[in-house]
């Protein structure tokens, strides 16, 4: 009976005429606010971008005006919707991705920030971190959060605000203030103050979130002297949290995803299984490896972080950053004037058969993962009378890959999982020579997708999943490769290149004492 009913029901079902629905990705970055609109096939159909002011009130301090961040973000949302000729009712969901760790505190009653946002780059609390380290707190902090005790993360920025803005601590004790990373701030504005939330990926960058229990941690809150009343509710990275209520952008759009920028990038590259890794080749190089449900601790200065949570499934990741990546090409261009455009580096490097024995260690601002030496400085080794600007350029491009390889080796060593494929994006990922050299020395398949806007794409993917617009399997089919690079270099040559590279790295260390 039941079966007959079902088959009859199917026959009678009217053909659904479904209007095209769209996903809005809000990509709030360190230097600009962007908004991208994606159609039902996850294809971008509109994009708007607006830069905002950077404030440097003292050496080492970096601030943003949180109201200006919102003004620029809401402007680009309006522009992108106008470009695509969409109304709020056409939007199936909004995905948010954001600069991480940047800290805002606002009054709950008015929604007004009590001070500028303190940006992730800001070093004002470096001495506070040092004091806590000297008091022996780092092991506990690292065990609970997967992070290092560093000014980069939010906790000491929150304490600084409570201690330096008049009346802030008393107000916080009375529960009158709210803390948020930029995602929380945007959701507050989008919902006219209705929601005070963040997602696990952003929470995991605050130094206050225990990544095993998935809770704010009392011991950490006590260490940094932060009242729990400040904190947002922590949600998964892909669910409908609520609806927009702000008339500046339109009401009734479901807010359906939140993820920090690097994590969203990892998802946008569909590195959704353990062992998959991505590298963003921008000014610096940012690597992340999905370690699945397993939290991998690092003994070599990599960070352990939450990649995302979908439903009750949590993915962890290892993260490593290289300070100077594409910036070394910028330096050859602007500092030495070797060529006019960054893209010219590819042809110039290709005009010689090899690096001619030249190795360039671009420790221009010290060395990041996995060498960690703030006192290292840049150096070029192996110069002879035959060295030309082409060799120098080739060595510079190779240095980007050597540094990435050092992090990849560490990922493999610490996770025990070999990386078979590296998915790449960022401004320098268009350089074929760079991509090929990476494949050669790292013995991995290097894959460049057609859509290099992976951060916004990741936020859109997560939002589309939450609202049922697509499944992960459908996204896999949709995701397109522009080009794959396979290793094609004799092992002896690889071994020799890496030996010289590591020798060069050692000689740059501890230079600026
Ligand atoms: P960010 O987001 O960090 O500002 P982008 O992702 O826009 O950086 O990448 C810009 C960086 O990439 C610059 O440092 C530039 O020198 C480098 N770059 C851009 N195009 C190329 C290229 N074709 N080859 C090598 N490097 C490049």
* Length of the chain counted residue by residue: 513
Q: Give SS3 for 32.
A: strand
Q: How far apart are CA 408 and CA 426, in angstroms?
A: 17
Q: What percent of the chain has pLDDT over 70?
A: 96
pLDDT tens digits along 145-170: 999 998 889 999 999 999 999 999 99
Average pLDDT score over residue span 354-382: 90
**Pocket of ligand 1 contains residue 430 by CB under 6 Å:** yes
User: Within 13 Å, how many C-alpha atoms sit on residue 329's CB side?
Assistant: 28
Which pLDDT value is given to residue 512? 84
Which pLDDT value is given to residue 116? 97
Give start and end residues of each alpha helix (H) in 13-125.
66-83
Which mutation among 342, 433, 435 tests ligand 1's pocket best, with the greatest number of atoms within 8 A of CB? 342
In this predicted structure, the answer to whether residue 9 has a pLDDT above a threshold of 70 is no
| Buried residues in 65-94 as b, exposed as e (16+ CB within 10 A) | bbbbbbebbbbbbebbbeebebeeebbbbb
**Pocket of ligand 1 contains residue 321 by CB under 6 Å:** no
- Across all residues in the chain, what is the average pLDDT? 93
pLDDT bucket at 374, cuts 50 / 70 / 90: confident
| Buried residues in 262-280 as b, exposed as e (16+ CB within 10 A) | bbbbbbbbbbbebbbbbbb
Average pLDDT score over residue span 444-463: 96
- Name, in order, each residue with C-beta under 8 angstroms of 333's C-beta and a sequence gap of 6 or more: 339, 340, 341, 342, 344, 345
In this predicted structure, the answer to whether residue 367 has a pLDDT above a threshold of 90 is no
Residue in 247, 277, 248 with CA at minimum distance from that of residue 417: 277
In this predicted structure, the answer to whether residue 469 has a pLDDT above a threshold of 50 is yes
pLDDT bucket at 369, cuts 50 / 70 / 90: confident
**Pocket of ligand 1 contains residue 326 by CB under 6 Å:** yes
Q: In whole angstroms, how far apart are CA 292 and each of 273, 275, 507?
A: 6, 8, 37
pTM attached to this predicted model = 0.91
**Pocket of ligand 1 contains residue 343 by CB under 6 Å:** yes
CA of 331 to the centre of ligand 1 (A): 11
pLDDT bucket at 13, cuts 50 / 70 / 90: very low
Q: In what side-by-side order are the strands of the sheet with 44-51?
A: 44-51, 32-38, 22-28, 91-98, 254-260, 238-243
Which mutation among 28, 261, 427 tests ligand 1's pocket best, with the greatest number of atoms within 8 A of CB? 427
Which pLDDT value is given to residue 12? 39
Kindly give the number of the ligand 1 atom that is closest to the alpha carbon of 330: 16
pLDDT bucket at 20, cuts 50 / 70 / 90: confident
**Pocket of ligand 1 contains residue 32 by CB under 6 Å:** no
In this predicted structure, the answer to whether residue 317 has a pLDDT above a threshold of 80 is yes
In this predicted structure, the answer to whether residue 31 has a pLDDT above a threshold of 50 is yes
Q: In whole angstroms, how far apart are CA 2 and each of 5, 8, 13?
A: 5, 10, 16
Average pLDDT score over residue span 48-74: 93
Which pLDDT value is given to residue 408? 96
Residue in 377, 353, 356, 354 with CA at minimum distance from that of residue 365: 377
Which pLDDT value is given to residue 465? 97
Q: Give SS3 for 7.
A: helix
Residue in 102, 135, 131 with CA at minimum distance from that of residue 119: 102
Q: How far apart are CA 140 and CA 222, in angstroms?
A: 12
In this predicted structure, the answer to whether residue 5 has a pLDDT above a threshold of 50 is no
pLDDT tens digits along 213-263: 999 999 999 999 999 999 999 999 999 999 999 999 999 999 999 999 999
Q: In this structure, what token pair is assigned to residue 359?
A: 């190795």
Which pLDDT value is given to residue 495? 97
DSSP secondary structure code for residue 229 in this structure? G
Which pLDDT value is given to residue 7? 38
Closest protein CA for atom 27 of ligand 1: 428
Closest protein CA for atom 21 of ligand 1: 428
Which pLDDT value is given to residue 368? 83
**Pocket of ligand 1 contains residue 426 by CB under 6 Å:** yes
């Amino acid at each position: 009976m039941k079966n007959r009913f079902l088959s009859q029901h199917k026959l009678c079902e009217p053909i659904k005429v479904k209007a095209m629905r769209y996903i809005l990705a809000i990509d709030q970055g360190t230097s600009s606010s962007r908004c991208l609109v994606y159609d039902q096939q996850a294809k971008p159909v509109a994009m708007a971008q607006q830069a905002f002011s950077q404030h440097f009130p003292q050496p080492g301090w970096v601030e943003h005006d949180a109201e200006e961040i919102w003004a620029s973000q809401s402007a680009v949302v309006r522009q992108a919707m106008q470009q695509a000729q969409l109304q709020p009712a056409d939007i199936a969901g909004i995905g948010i991705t954001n600069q991480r760790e940047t800290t805002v505190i606002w009054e709950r009653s008015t929604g007004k920030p009590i001070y500028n946002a303190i940006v992730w780059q800001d070093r004002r609390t470096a001495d506070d971190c040092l004091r806590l380290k000297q008091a022996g707190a780092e092991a506990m902090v690292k065990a609970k959060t997967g992070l290092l005790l560093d000014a980069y993360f939010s906790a000491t920025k929150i304490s600084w605000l409570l201690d330096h803005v008049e009346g802030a601590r008393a107000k916080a004790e009375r529960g009158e203030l709210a803390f948020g990373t930029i995602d929380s701030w945007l959701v507050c504005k989008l919902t006219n103050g209705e929601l005070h939330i963040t997602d696990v990926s952003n929470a995991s960058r605050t130094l206050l979130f225990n990544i095993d229990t998935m809770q704010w941690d009392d011991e950490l809150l006590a260490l940094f002297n932060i009242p729990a009343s400040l904190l947002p509710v922590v949600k998964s990275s892909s669910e409908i949290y609520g609806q927009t209520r702000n008339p500046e952008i339109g009401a009734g759009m479901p807010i359906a995803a939140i993820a920090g920028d690097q994590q969203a990038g990892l998802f946008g590259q569909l590195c959704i299984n353990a062992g998959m890794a991505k590298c963003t080749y921008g000014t610096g190089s940012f690597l992340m490896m999905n370690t699945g449900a397993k939290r991998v601790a690092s003994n070599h200065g990599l960070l352990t972080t939450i990649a995302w949570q979908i439903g009750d499934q949590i993915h962890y990741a290892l993260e490593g950053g290289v300070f100077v990546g594409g910036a070394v090409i910028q330096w050859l261009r602007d500092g030495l004037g070797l060529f006019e455009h960054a893209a010219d580096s590819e042809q110039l490097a290709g005009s010689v058969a090899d690096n001619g024995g030249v190795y360039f260690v671009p420790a221009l601002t010290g060395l990041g993962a996995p060498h960690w030496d703030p006192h290292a400085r840049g150096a070029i080794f192996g110069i002879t009378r035959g060295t030309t600007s082409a060799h120098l350029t080739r060595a510079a491009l190779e240095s980007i890959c050597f540094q990435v390889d050092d992090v990849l080796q560490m990922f493999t060593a610490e996770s025990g999982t070999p990386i078979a494929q590296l998915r790449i994006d960022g401004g320098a990922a268009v350089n074929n020579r760079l991509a090929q050299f990476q494949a050669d020395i790292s013995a991995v398949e290097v894959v460049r997708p057609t859509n290099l806007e992976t951060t916004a794409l990741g936020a859109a993917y997560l939002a589309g999943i939450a609202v049922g617009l697509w499944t992960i399997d459908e996204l896999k089919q949709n995701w397109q490769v522009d080009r794959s690079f396979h290793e094609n270099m004799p092992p002896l040559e690889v071994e020799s290149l890496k030996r010289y590279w590591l020798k060069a790295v050692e000689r740059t260390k501890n230079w600026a004492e």
